[in-house]
Amino acid sequence: MAAVPITNTLFPPPPGYYKAFTPEAVEQHAALGDEEVARDPELAALEPPRADWVLEEGQWMLFGQKYTAEPHIPTAKDIGLPALVSDPVSAGGDSERAALPLLLNSFLHTLLAFVDVLTGTSRVPDELEVYGRQSQGDQYIQHLSNLAATMMVSANQLRGVQAEATLVMLMEKQLEERRAQTERLRTKSREIAAMVRRLKESASEAGESKAKSQSQGLSSKQSPEVNGGGDQDGDVTMGEA
């Protein structure tokens, strides 16, 4: 059966040196020293690859794309664009933020000029070829491309500022949510305290009314006995007399 092409497989095939990782070879590699492993070509394949050369060269290739050891955001000069924005180092590191509105205004002005050229009167054939342009709007198209690329580069240079502003916004939002939650808890606590106070007042009023009713009942029961005893004493006294 013919081998399936790599381009038609979901995952690329493993490298050929995976066959060297047998249980016996792994045990032998663990038992031997570094010098003995280096002398054995079969066990040398079990050694981890060197990665220090990446730091030495500062870059490496992966899947056809170049990566750098230290992240670097390209500037307009690195890409080959004209210097439409001042150097952030000489301008204090904030030139991109100040230049974005100016770049946008220049982009809109160039776009309006380009539309005005397209809607204007036509020129004599081959007149622009003398100036090295195929059409009258070539200079505006090139300037629009440079402005758009410079704006993208300037926006990428502000990634750190954007991350800082986003973090500040998230912290302010969390602070507002905590303040709102604290205020809700305080409001609920005041409501519960007022409810407990009303319950205590109603309980004390109920206790006072119950004690008052009990005292009135006792006084009504004791009044006839006292009167009857008084009449009997009066009769005995009169008989003795």
Tell me if 151 is assigned to some domain.
yes
- R_g over Cα of the chain: 48
Residue-wise pLDDT for 74-119, tens only, equals 777 777 777 777 655 444 456 667 788 888 899 999 999 888 887 7
What is the dihedral sign for C-alpha 17, 23, 24, 25?
A: positive
Query: Angle formed by the axes of helices 95-118 and 138-157, to 10°?
Result: 160
Residue-wise pLDDT for 128-157, tens only, equals 666 665 666 778 888 899 889 888 888 887
Tell me if 134 is assigned to some domain.
yes
Residue-wise pLDDT for 21-78, tens only, equals 788 877 777 777 666 666 666 667 777 777 777 777 888 777 777 788 777 777 777 7
C-alpha of 194 from chain center = 41
Tell me if 156 is assigned to some domain.
yes
Indicate whether this model's pTM tops 0.85. no
Tell me if 116 is assigned to some domain.
yes
Tell me if 43 is assigned to some domain.
no
- Containing domain of residue 140, as a range? 96-120+127-187
Q: Structurally, how many domains does the chain consist of?
A: 1
Tell me if 157 is assigned to some domain.
yes
Over residues 178-196, the mean pLDDT reads: 94
Tell me if 200 is assigned to some domain.
no
Tell me if 199 is assigned to some domain.
no
